Structure 1
Amino acid sequence: MLLLVLPAALALSGCVATPQPGVTDANTPPQVMSAEASAATTSAPLETTQASNKAPVYWIGRSNDDTFLYREFRDVPEEDNPVTGALRVMMSEKPLDPDFFTPWQNPKMLASSISGKNVITVDMSADAFNSNVDPAMAERAVQQLVYTATAAAASAGLIDTGQQIQVVVLVDGHTDYVAFNHVRLGAPTSRSVGMVAPVWIIDPQEGTSVEDGAVKVNGRSTSPGGVLRWEVLRIDGSIKTSYVNGTVTASAEAGKSGAFNLSVNLGPGNYEVRVSQVEEGNPAKDLNVDTRGFTVQ
């Protein structure tokens, strides 16, 4: 049945999804997951239901020498249902954070529906794939779509987050399209483990303004119980100066796995917050750095 227009929202939870087998090429049939594989779980997070006029949208970003998925919360077109609206933003708009990007193009046709078996079907026109990317980036782009569709549906309360959630991608109503000339579509696909960023800052979002005083920073790490290094830099024109720094430990509690938060007293001005994992045996090296620029009023 077609999705109804409901408010979408954002919140991180410990719910999990099943990984899809790796990239297929133009000569490989789509891979269908077995019942055994479908019962498996991964550490990929799934959003929970909350009321908000914002929808979770995933982008691709680089960290050290690898590429991961990062999430922003965006306004979506009111005429679309939550899944279609989030995907439309992903395909037609630019991320707020200049460190992120998307290989998708705005398609002439885009629609989505959900079955009673927790399967989201996305149908789009072939012009969505008008980008030249390599196989690894094509795989990430498909996972970007899967993460965004499942996040939007979960946060709008349209799917059972306690069950396996999969996405079927059709192109002009048909299966077996080869996305970006590298990934064959059509089989039910779940969130793949290892795609989500090892560290990401949830709040404040890039470019936002917050009131002066105790500024709260929260985010997520894929290493529950691991030590994270953080730093706030003050920005004056093109000059960045270290203002305050420290360490924080990511939560290992059930339901809060990997979550971190801290509070910093800041006066009016422009700032950048940086959070990174600490490499075991080499504490001087920052791993998987994420940054957010924001303004304190």
Structure 2
Amino acid sequence: MDAFPPVPTPRTGAAAIPDVRGQRTAERLRTVDKVAIVALSLTLLLGGCTSANTQNPDSSMPATAASSSTGLVTSAPLETATASQTLPVYWLGRSNSDVFLYREFRASTALDEPIVTALRIMMSNKALDPDYFTLWSAPSRLGASISAKNVITVDVSADAFSQKADAGMAERSVSQLVYTATAAAAMAGLVDTSSPIQVSVLVDGHTGYSAFGHVPLDKPLTRNPAYIAPVWIIDPANGSTYKHLPLKVTGQGVSPTGTLAWSLSHVSEGKVADEYLSGTVNIPQGPNELGEFTFNLVPPNGSYQLSVFIDNPLLPGRKIGIDTKIVTITGSP
């Protein structure tokens, strides 16, 4: 299946350049679904994501009640069209007894076709954060298009499904594809975020394939909110080095109190050592509402593990939904 004409893929900013978006609007009918966000139990205990191997540990999904628990939020907007050339790519990441979706951004060029390029990174590359992983394999053929009925069609070769997975991991992997395809289309300004959008997956040009032997690809798919991580750090990226302070931390999360906890711990010889600093940050949307958070840090030079998590007063001392990043500071006085 033919891919889209190349367009720039932005990351930040309120909207794409008006004349570019106007031209794209004339070329395609655009829609996107309004997305509900992750279901999260108040008593769900989640440890930090752990680094993943490529086979046995990541091919199975432990029994969990996370996906069926009462959700703390109901909806959240899709990625918006922006002005920088980056691609959104979703990965799988373990959080104790569950596996969620986490997003990273990758560099792009104006010549990249956003949906195909983002999906190829997802299937062929490794995540920048070693805590994240994928069960997809590099496909020998991959294409995408958008129909006048607001459906993104992804056509991929069967060798992309060569790794083994149980039903839970298969469902999450298919959701990983749906989130990546819709995010790339939205950020490139190819869809209208006021309307739903679906993703139809063909395998070698045909419908009805059983993804990883468990998920029938016989109808268009939409985003499943149960698989989005309850907390994730968007910036800084894992492994980042900063020469200028303050270090600005941004991310998104949900909490029954409307507050998230954070900590900064020293990293020595590749191992997390003592805690240097800790605190809390408010989610502007309030309790039980998904929202973006931000706060600044000014630590001395050194390597640190930054952690953000839900500190539920009903579960004192438990770090729920924790996400972590390693960052190095080299520019402090």
Pick from 34, 45, 54: which aligns with 1:16? 34
Give 2:293's aligned residue.
260
Check whether the contact 1:16–1:42 (CA below 8 A) recurs between aligned residues: no
The structure with the largest strand share of the pair is 1
**What is the aligned residue count?**
273
Pick from 202, 211, 233: which aligns with 1:170? 202
Q: 1:134 to 1:78 in 2, by over 3 A?
A: farther
Instruction: Give the distance between the partners of 1:243 and 1:197, measured in 2 at CA.
Output: 26
| Aligned-residue offset at 1:76 | 4.2
Shifted more, 57-66 versus 111-120: the winner is: 111-120
Instruction: Give the distance between the partners of 1:103 and 1:53, measured in 2 at CA.
Output: 26
Check whether the contact 1:212–1:265 (CA below 8 A) recurs between aligned residues: no
TM-score, length of structure 2 as denominator length: 0.77
| Aligned-residue offset at 1:227 | 1.6
| Aligned-residue offset at 1:280 | 3.6
Query: Per-residue CA shift, 1:55-96, capped at 9, x if unaligned?
Result: 000000011211100000012477641000000000000001
Give RMSD over aligned pairs.
Answer: 2.3
| Aligned-residue offset at 1:2 | 4.6
- The equivalences for 1:124-139 within 5 A come to 124-139=156-171
| Aligned-residue offset at 1:236 | 2.1
Instruction: Give the distance between the partners of 1:282 and 1:266, measured in 2 at CA.
Output: 29
Tell me the secondary structure at the aligned position of residue 108 of structure 1: coil
| Aligned-residue offset at 1:210 | 1.6
Tell me the secondary structure at the aligned position of residue 229 of structure 2: coil
Instruction: Give the distance between the partners of 2:292 and 2:256, measured in 1 at CA.
Output: 8
Check whether the contact 1:7–1:53 (CA below 8 A) recurs between aligned residues: yes
Pick from 280, 293, 308: which aligns with 1:275? 308
- Unmatched tracts of structure 2, length 5 or more: 15-32, 38-72
| Aligned-residue offset at 1:238 | 3.5
TM-score, length of structure 1 as denominator length: 0.85
Shifted more, 226-235 versus 93-102: the winner is: 226-235
Pair 1:179-2:197 in alignment? no
Q: 1:10 to 1:283 in 2, by over 3 A?
A: farther
- The equivalences for 1:1-297 within 5 A come to 2-10=3-11, 16-17=34-35, 42-43=74-75, 45-76=77-108, 80-223=112-255, 226-239=258-271, 240-252=273-285, 257-297=290-330
Query: Per-residue CA shift, 1:110-151, capped at 9, x if unaligned?
Result: 000112332111001000000100000000000000000000
Instruction: Give the distance between the partners of 2:205 and 2:265, measured in 1 at CA.
Output: 49
Q: How high is the sequence identity, in percent, across the aligned residues?
A: 47
Tell me the secondary structure at the aligned position of residue 283 of structure 1: coil
